[in-house]
Structure 1
Amino acid sequence: MNFQVTNSPFSQEQAELLNQLLPTLTDKQKIWLSGYLSSFEAAISTTADTAGQSLLVTEGSSQNVSQSASREVTVLFGSETGNAQSLAEEMHRKLEEQGFKATLSSMDDFKPKTLKNVQDLLIITATHGEGDPPDNALSFYEFLNSKRAPQLDGLRFSVLSLGDQSYEFFCQTGKDFDKRLEELGGERFYPRIDCDVDFDEPAAEWVEGVLSKLSEAQESNPAGEQILSTAQAAAALQTEKPVYSRTNPFKAEVLENLKLSGRGSNKETRHLELSLEGSNFKFEPGDSLGIFPENDPGLADNIINEMNWNPEEIVPVNKQGETSTLRKALISHFEITRLTKPMLTQAAQLFSNEKLTELIASGHEEELKSYLDGRDLLDLIRDFPPGKVAPSEFLQILRRIPVRLYSISSSFKANPDEVHLTIGTVRYEALGRNRIGVCSGQCAERIEPGDLLPIYIHRNPNFKFPSDSETPVIMIGPGTGVAPFRSFLQEREETGTLGKTWLFFGDQHFKSDFLYQVEWQKWLKEGVLSRMDVAFSRDNAEKVYVQHRMLEKSRDIYQWLKDGANVYVCGDEKNMAKDVHHTLQAILEKEGGMTQDEAELYLTQMRQEKRYQRDVY
């Protein structure tokens, strides 16, 4: 709903500002705003000074605006022999005795994604070996020192470090935590204390000092009062967060770019992790991520050289008048790896090449289709050399680089500040040249941690998993098609949801292509995944695919369908998806005694009921 001047007490300028701001607000921000506006009516005094006004809010009206008088304290420990854990348990007990709300956890049990919500953090840690973190602190230590660690501007912290001065890197882990928390914006409210093997007295000093500082902070911010600067509140209201979308993509930092496929694999599959910090993106299992890719600079250079163009010539890149260098335009803006019939038709008019004109005029659709298949812009200008063509004219026949969509392979609830992708690198040889996919090639060869990728969330309402845990779920995803199922199971693990789930996974080789093997085995053990069947097509003389495994378990699959199971298929549309569909039809005929038409009708009804969903490409 938009504010209109005619139905509100706002001026035209105010209404426009509100209409820009309100769609960008999160639910939490709207609640905060509501509480802030309500506080005006409950104000017990207003004072003015040269900088502006300050509002004194009553206890009842300040609950949405102020922080709680008693901040929550989180105590984390990393312990090798148990000393640090004992001290942490003692600190937790004393905090509760003094009325603080406190939580206690080993570092490996703590969910790193919640760190940015922590108010007061106490770290008690030992140092293992030559300055290494204890085993149960390692994952948290790596997270904190990674690119995915959040900014901690609102965090207060203190560190107690245990060690042994006979080692070169005395108390190194505690020192590292202390330094890193400060680097991330945290405020050290009590100095770190480093303890030798005789740690009782210095540890007691730290405990008492921390408790004293926390008590002072609580007394300086008693329940019932808080001074809120209206200037600060106004500034907060005027801060507009950008809305990222397909038309305004978010530049996500690459956190990880790992090769999943093992040694000896005929394929290359990569696992990417991107930061969503600051994007306000949310997604569900089944959604996709759109990436705006870039072309291979080498291919762009070859085209420029073939045409004898100046790579630094300034050219227009859109109808809005934006410009860039020719080289950047060919890399970042225009599609140069694929030919289309409309583009070829325009090229024939532009190139003044008789052979190309004849190809278009011949009307031989099969010949034209055959030429288009597998060729790119470099092939075109080599096969049909154009006359002297200005770059700005040439670019007009090219289209924008299409966005690449990839099924998201992580759960937002499990990893709210990042998104994972599972990408198969496309490589092939054609017409005497080695070719590589645009986006998959960029991710495989030119993207490193720390680089930025323009992205947006692509909703997929036709590939949604059931919210009812009682609904059995059959998932069929060979190769990278397994991505959305990792997202779904990761979310179930995070929410503690258990239900009947069955995964069919296939690839070429067990040793080199069993993507996310450890995770599936873990989920099988925990009951998040009920059953799993695998097919590795190149491990035996006779090729075996997922549809063969399905036929082997046809009776059980049919029973699951009778029990109301939802079926999800993700992957290659031309071959795998069709084969799986025919296999489901065969199972219904065999186990259900249906005719071919009845089986097809059954699957059609399943689709209509959203029980049979496919994400194929």
Structure 2
Amino acid sequence: MQLQVVNSPFSQEQAELLNHLLPTLTEPQKVWLSGYLAAAIQAAFIQGNTAEQPISQTTNQAISKEVTILYGSQSGNARGLAQKAAKTLEGSGFQVTVSAMSDFKPNNLKKIQNLLIVVSTHGEGDPPDNALTFHEFVHSKRAPKLTDLNFSVLALGDSSYEFFCKTGKDFDERLEELGGTRLYPRFDCDVDFDEPAAEWLQGVLGSLKETQGETSHPIQKGALQTAESVYSRTNPFQAEILENINLNGRGSNKETHHLEISLEGSGLTFEPGDSLGIYPENDPALVELILHELKWDPDEPVTVKTGDVRPLKDALQSYYEITVLTKPLLEKVSKLSTNKNLQDLTGHEGNIKEYLKGRDLLDLVRDFGPWGETAQEFVSVLRKIPPRLYSIASSITANPDEVHLTIGAVRYEAHDRKRNGVCSILTAERLQPWDTLPIFIQRNENFKLPQDSDAPIIMVGPGTGVAPFRSFMQEREEIGAEGKSWLFFGDQHFVTDFLYQIEWQKWLKNGVLTKMDVAFSRDQEEKVYVQHRLVEYSKEIFEWLEAGAYFYVCGDEKNMAHDVHDTLLKIIEKEGGISPEQAVEYLSNLQQQKRYQRDVY
């Protein structure tokens, strides 16, 4: 495992020295070094205590076996890591409490001695929905002094975004400001988070055990994997494609594929609201263009990870990300390249941000490459291709051993070249029945049907955002749910883009779906979107909310979900006869009650 500067408190020079040393150490040497450093830290800690504070008091505080893990998660990654970390710590004798930040009473924070934060960053540096209230509390004047708190933060993010891991950094800095002591340094994880998360947990466990006077042993490989099925994010199931159908009519500007995938023999299960993760392969045509520029032998072997050696061509097609550029990638490349233009680019933050927009690895190679003296050195700075998550569009109760997806093909032009979405175009152009895909189930506790099947639900899902609501309807039909349901659907044209039209009409006829309102934006001169339909039914929507309705939104976060959120606030303010501040509080209470849920991307 390579020590990354972004995941550690070390400088680039220190990280390089450690990366040369660590692989040469034997296991006994590593254990000895770990104990030596822990003892040195403990000695410095004790020495730093004032005479007025007896050492026995510090020791008594340090030996608590209770650990609280709080997670903030939008898609389920942070939740999964928090739960797996809890199992590992419990296996080492610690008493662990795991909670979503939204379920935790903030005033209890001052009672905690050992706190682990596992949190993702959403959108443009925002906390996940279920972390909003806790994040606000911790950063407010109401937050207590935390001088007795030991803490550590595992931050999840995507380095292709400007505010990489910002929420985790916020918590880490704020807890220190409030007087807390870092139990272990914060780790900032990119999209391929499994190994750094395991490394962080090993460090946390070591620090906790040192306070107990115990020796920490390395976590066994797979300790962070779920036991629900042998197949997981780190061990995906090769699933067979049963159907691949274009849902859009002839003449549509869009291409939306309905995929039916077999789960037979996998042991995988899911609930409505969960997502399916797919590890896609890159477009062979793009790989060929990159190889043409590189002039290296496509069959030259490269090591992508320990024990996994592949031909360069295969590595670029099935392992490395080649369609997205990140700031860390540019910085790493600049250290391997002597290209003056690249040095000038990476020396200015604004230039980096502008260059990253819409460019891929082929652009980078053409503009500044190749870099490194060998193919191995070239690929060493690339990150692993991340899985793509799609809202599941079916109920396993209605379709045993199957999972359905709704995927819109992404095609666009940037910098005088046509660009394609990695997974969506794999689906649209290269995936046929009988082919297989590596998949896993991604749990999403933040997007679930009410436990009370008699509760009314309002669903807002334009375009492919309608996928999970098809799952909701299939499930409610199977279990005989009595609760009312109302769907708001939108797309461009009624004739060509009314996804799953026949199914919605069937559910309207048999009463599974109570109401449906649609907004086809291009069928009239003035564009109409789902938020406009919400305004039209403002009074009735508020009546449903007052009667206990759950409100769901799925789809594009930056535009649609933001507009729907603002519209909902205005509806609550107007129909409730309350102030804008009271409307915000009303909606916040709905979130706390899990009656306002979003699956946005």
C-alpha deviation, 1:242, in angstroms: 6.8
* 3-state SS of 2:548 partner: coil
- Find 1:470's aligned residue among 432, 446, 454: 454
How many residues of Structure 1 are paired with residues of Structure 2 in the alignment?
376
Match of 1:333 in 2: 319
- Superposed CA deviations along residues 359-396 of structure 1, whole A, max 9, x for unmatched, are 112x2x22211100110000001111335631110111
- Counterpart of 1:569, as a letter, is V
| 1:358 partnered with 2:337 | no
Alpha-carbon distance in structure 2 between the residues aligned to 1:404 and 1:386: 28
Partners in 1 of 2:586 and 2:315 — Cα distance? 51
SS at match of 2:526: coil
User: Sequence identity, in percent?
Assistant: 64
- On the 8 A contact 1:274/1:419 being kept in 2, the answer is yes
Cα deviation per residue 1:41-80 (whole Å; 9 max; x = unaligned)?
xxxxxxxxxxxxxxxxxxxxxxxxxxxxxxxxxxxxxxxx
Equivalent AA in structure 1 for residue 541 of structure 2? I
Partner SS, residue 573 of structure 2: helix
Cα drift, residue 258 of structure 1 = 0.6
In the alignment, what sits opposite 1:584? 568
> 1:284: which partner in 2?
271
Q: In the alignment, what sits opposite 1:342?
A: 328
1:92-491 alignment runs, 5 A limit:
243-318=230-305, 320-361=306-347, 363=348, 365-386=349-370, 389-491=373-475
**Counterparts of 1:387 and 1:507, CA distance in 2:** 45
Counterpart amino acid of 1:334?
Answer: Y
Q: Which residue of 2 aligns with 1:34?
A: none
Is the Cα contact below 8 Å between 2:371 and 2:378 reproduced in 1? no
Give the Cα separation in 1 of the matches to 2:419 and 2:425: 9
Tell me if the contact between 1:569 and 1:616 (Cα under 8 Å) persists in the aligned partners. Answer: yes
CA drift of 1:241 comes to: 11
Q: Which residue of 2 aligns with 1:91?
A: none
Gaps of 5+ in 1: 1-22, 24-239
Counterpart secondary structure, 1:317? strand
Distance 1:475 1:343 in 2: 40
Q: Is the 8 A contact 1:353 1:386 kept in 2?
A: no
Using the TM superposition, give the Cα deviation of residue 352 of structure 1 relative to its aligned residue in structure 2, in angstroms.
1.6
- 1:469 CA displacement: 2.0
Bigger radius of gyration: 1
Query: Any conservation in 2 of the 1:352–1:386 contact (CA below 8 Å)?
Result: no
Contact 1:271 1:423 in 2 (8 A): yes
- 1:592 positional shift: 0.9
Give me the whole-angstrom Cα distance separating, in 2, the residues matched to 1:241 and 1:466: 23
Paired residues for 1:9-48 under 5 Å: none
**Shift of the alpha carbon at 1:590?**
1.3
**TM-score of the aligned structures, taking structure 1 as reference length:** 0.60
Structure 2 residue identity aligned to 1:546: V
CA distance in 2, matches of 1:588, 1:497: 27
Report the alpha carbon displacement of residue 264 of structure 1 after superposing the two structures with TM. Answer: 1.2
Compared with structure 1, are the counterparts of its residues 586 and 299 closer, same or farther at alpha carbon in structure 2 (3 Å cutoff)? same
Q: AA paired with 1:351?
A: S
2-structure distance, mates of 1:588, 1:421: 33
SS of 2:432 mapped into structure 1: coil
Shift, 1:261, TM fit = 1.1
- 1:242–1:535: structure 2 CA closer, same or farther, 3 Å change rule? closer
CA distance in 1, matches of 2:455, 2:568: 19
Secondary structure, aligned partner of 1:405: strand
AA in 1 matched with 2:405: L
| 8 A contact 1:282–1:416 mirrored in 2 | no
The residue number in structure 1 matching 2:161 is none
Deviation at 1:467, TM superposition (A): 2.5
Work out the CA distance in 1 between the residues paired with 2:228 and 2:455: 39
1:58 is matched with which residue? none
Q: 1-side partners of 2:278 and 2:327: how far apart?
A: 25
**Alpha-carbon distance, 1:431 to partner:** 0.9
Question: Any conservation in 2 of the 1:284–1:411 contact (CA below 8 Å)?
Answer: yes
Partner Cα separation in structure 2 for residue 387 and residue 496 of structure 1: 61
CA distance in 2 between partners of 1:439 and 1:379 (Å): 20
Higher relative contact order by CA 8 Å / sep ≥ 6: 1 or 2?
2
Root-mean-square deviation (Å): 1.4
Q: Residues 240-278 of structure 1, C-alpha deviation per residue, up to 9 Å, x if partnerless? A: 997111111000000001101111111111100000000
Is the 1:293–1:442 contact (alpha carbons within 8 Å) kept by the matching residues of 2? yes
**CA contact under 8 A between 2:229 and 2:268: conserved in structure 1?**
no
In the other structure, the counterpart of 1:513 is 497
> How far apart are residue 289 of structure 1 and its match?
0.2
Deviation at 1:321, TM superposition (A): 2.2
- Cα distance in 2 for partners of 1:273, 1:409 equals 9
- Equivalent residue number for residue 568 of structure 1: 552
The secondary structure found in structure 2 opposite 1:559 is helix
Contact kept? 2:278, 2:387, Cα under 8 Å: yes
Determine if contact 1:249/1:455 at 8 Å carries over to the other structure.
yes
SS at match of 2:381: coil
Alpha-carbon distance in 2 for matches of 1:510, 1:366: 43
Contact 2:232 2:440 (8 Å CA) reproduced: yes
Which residue of structure 2 aligns with residue 172 of structure 1? none
1:594 and 1:574 mapped to 2: Cα distance?
Answer: 27
* Cα distance change on mapping 1:412 and 1:387 into 2, 3 Å: closer
Give the counterpart of 1:611 among 583, 586, 595. 595
TM-score computed with the length of structure 2 as normaliser: 0.62
Displacement after TM superposition at 1:554 (Å): 0.4
Change (3 A) 1:604 1:241: closer
Q: Which residue of 1 aligns with 2:194?
A: none
